[in-house]
Structure 1
């Protein structure tokens, strides 16, 4: 059975990465996908057991390493860009968009759904102020996409 494992993004060793570590220990043959992977090498070794994640086009966007959340409005498009037709089972670990990955007929999709994106809900104001700084235009655009 071919298994694809997909997580929103790989940047730090936090709670979602603990889930990733456990799932990959159960399914060591799974191939890993993520919108971006900017984890430090040693963290990646610990979390992904030496696997390299296949990333989306967001990996190569300007300033993505430091400000990947700026691209929030196109996260759904990026997650849908993965071609996972070759896999029998898709496992997603999602608190943002990974659960929106496209699956084909006959494929199974199991989602470990974390709590929602806190910066889109209960921390929205803090996120917008931090992300947009003093740019009212950018803050307005992000408010439009988050509401």
Structure 2
């Protein structure tokens, strides 16, 4: 599994003009599921997302994690993260998991996140979503499990 995480001041996700998720300061995580992924990889990725040190300490160094700060976590499924872009001018999506399997793994990821962290919001799997954010830094990292 892949997560593209961004440290944000705030972020929200809407579907058909209706806001379905919003967080204040925290992390926006775009999550992609690949064919070989399973629940164990999802658990490892979630642990990395929650403990990756991207927030400043008293000295301004990135030494604090989302778990340390208690900030919000907005999860948005994004199959394009699993694209193969190594050649040509159009992505191949063969590395991405089949939609039903990807949805099941993403749903498990959200359930586990909500059990492990107090402030979790999410988008809607497979929907045409509009994501708004104010990136803080900017700070963006690509995580894999």
TM-score range, shorter chain: under 0.3
TM-score by length of 1: 0.25
* Higher share of residues assigned strand: 2
Which one has a larger percent helix, Structure 1 or Structure 2? 1
Larger Rg: 1
The structure, 1 or 2, with the larger RCO (C-alpha pairs under 8 Å, 6+ apart) is 2
